[in-house]
Amino acid sequence: MPAPPFFLLLLGLVGAHAAVDLRMAAAMAAGLCKTRPTDLVFIIDSSRSVRPSEFEQVKVFLAKVIEGLDVGPNATRVGVVNYASRVKNEVSLKTHRTKAGLVKAVTKIEPLSTGTMTGLAIQFALNVAFSDGEGARVKSRDISKVAIIVTDGRPQDNVKEVAQRARDAGIEIFAIGVGRVDMSTLKQMASDPLDDHVDYVESYSVIEKLTKKFQEAFCVSDLCATGDHDCEQVCISSPGSYKCACKDGFTLMDDGRSCSACSNSATDVVFLIDGSKSVRPENFELVKKWINQIVDKLDVSDSKAHVGLVQYSSSVKLEFPLDRYKNKKDLKDAVKKMAYMERGTMTGQALNFMTENSLGARPGVTKVGIVFTDGRSQDYIGDAAKRVKENGFKMYAVGVGNAVEDELKEIASEPTGEHYFYTADFKTMSQIAKKLQINICQEEDPCECDSLVKFQKKVEDALQALLESMSKRIALLENKIV
């Protein structure tokens, strides 16, 4: 899965995003999140309208946000720009490598107590605070650049153009307004979406309530630890993202999630799908999604996996043969378009159809059949199930709801415990898709492999014995000569 943009994680504290916030808070409480490497610069207003006691509250806010960060040269670097009518670079991104050093530096900042040149401060941050010389890193997918502006008044200069230049340079801007701040100015400075990037508090005495929001904004969940991933076997975590891997002996498939024991084997897979009226239309849509879940795990191509689809009810319909689709996109689109047949459940007739028709199968290629049904067959399946396996199909049987487990076992290949699956509810079919592993390996010809290895080993042993014998004879001759 690609990494999400850094502040898409910041979704507010109320309304439709409440569930995300609760999950993030739970992740923080469980210690399952850390902060993405970021170049973060606070731009704080210390104009004369900000009283000394209020400026102290701003510094407390900064310190608390810093406490929630992974501070370090290879993690998050923090800078602080102090401004009024002039601008002062209080803390450089390259200066402090620890939280303790940063917090101590913040506590020593003194207010400038003059005018309010916010535009000048943003320009300074763009030109100086976020420069290479001050310790800023090259912006990349893994390193974000963020500015948090705190102000309580109307700027005495223009902010719109300079803020746009900063955003165009890749700096994500948050604007925090206090008291009688000009809200239109905040919106001119902040990045989109404005709901996520503009905050207002009535006074400096309550600015600390924003601490939690920004801690959560910088919190990046360990998606492997929280289970928010779809890796089949192994999940490898990275900040705000993850990648999938496979256990020894398995190969990662093209979907980036699934694992195969035999990535190079050619396989013909036929789905035999119950479309009887007991399935119902809404569940039939779930069945199609389930088919495509399994298709996602296959290496579909001209030379590897081919997939065919048969639907049955009172009659049997070939939806498409094995040789029609050679890529996953076209194949999955065809599955989605399959129309629901309804009527009866003639599973035996459907199995005979698989035996009696080639369905586009390739000579010498392993054949796999996956039967899905939700009820008892209305015809006898014993002989048909036996013949389809004798005809070379490795059979999987999947049942839902009223499916009869004895029939599923009769359809399934040996060992039946690995080839039949049952669930009571259509909504849990996705779990079966995860469990069902179609690991078909092409067997090596022992004449071409094992025998060759054995022959090579015999030759090597014979040569070694001959060399040892010759060495001994040479040694004896040398002794006689001496």
**Residue 35's closest CA among 226, 220, 187?**
220
3-state secondary structure of 104: helix
Residues in the chain: 482
Give, for 44, the enclosing helix (H) or strand (E).
Answer: strand 38-45
Provide φ and ψ at 150, rounded to 5°.
Answer: -120, 120
Take residue 186 and report the two structure tokens written for it.
């905040």
Question: How many of the other CB atoms lie within 10 Å of CB of 122?
Answer: 29
**Residue 136's closest CA among 98, 92, 103?**
92
pLDDT < 50 positions in the chain: 1-32, 263, 442-452
CA 188, CA 164: separation in Å to the nearest integer? 8
Burial 72-99, CB ≥16 within 10 A → b, else e: eeebbbbbbbbbbeebebbbbbebbeeb
pLDDT at 155 (0 to 100) = 94
Take residue 416 and report the two structure tokens written for it.
């039946």
Give pLDDT tens digits for 57-88: 999 999 999 988 888 888 899 999 999 999 99
pLDDT at 209 (0 to 100) = 86
With contact defined as beta carbons under 8 Å apart, do 310 and 318 qualify?
A: yes
State the chain's mean pLDDT as an integer: 83
CA 276, CA 215: separation in Å to the nearest integer? 54
pLDDT at 317 (0 to 100) = 96
pLDDT at 229 (0 to 100) = 76
Give, as one character, the DSSP assignment of residue 396.
E
pLDDT at 474 (0 to 100) = 63
Q: What's the N-to-C CA distance of the chain in angstroms?
A: 77
**Residue 370's closest CA among 413, 326, 317, 428?**
413
CA 79, CA 136: separation in Å to the nearest integer? 10
Question: How many of the other CB atoms lie within 10 Å of CB of 219?
Answer: 21
CA 23, CA 421: separation in Å to the nearest integer? 33
**Residue 421's closest CA among 350, 368, 372, 351?**
372
pLDDT at 26 (0 to 100) = 43
**Residue 204's closest CA among 181, 223, 182, 224?**
181
Considering Cα of 198, then 176, then 220, then 32, what sign does the dihedral take?
negative
pTM equals: 0.46
**Which residue ranges form the domains of the chain, and what is each CATH number?**
35-218 (3.40.50.410), 220-262 (2.10.25.10), 267-435 (3.40.50.410)
Give, for 294, the enclosing helix (H) or strand (E).
Answer: helix 281-296
Question: Edge-to-edge, what's the strand order for the sheet holding 198-201?
Answer: 87-91, 77-83, 38-45, 144-151, 171-178, 198-201
CA 333, CA 62: separation in Å to the nearest integer? 52
Q: Give the burial class of 337: count Cβ atoms within 10 A of its Cβ; 0-12 exposed, 13-18 middle, 19 or more buried.
A: exposed
Give the pairing type, strands 77-83 and 87-91. antiparallel
Give, as one character, the DSSP assignment of residue 361.
P
pLDDT at 443 (0 to 100) = 45
Take residue 231 and report the two structure tokens written for it.
């890796």
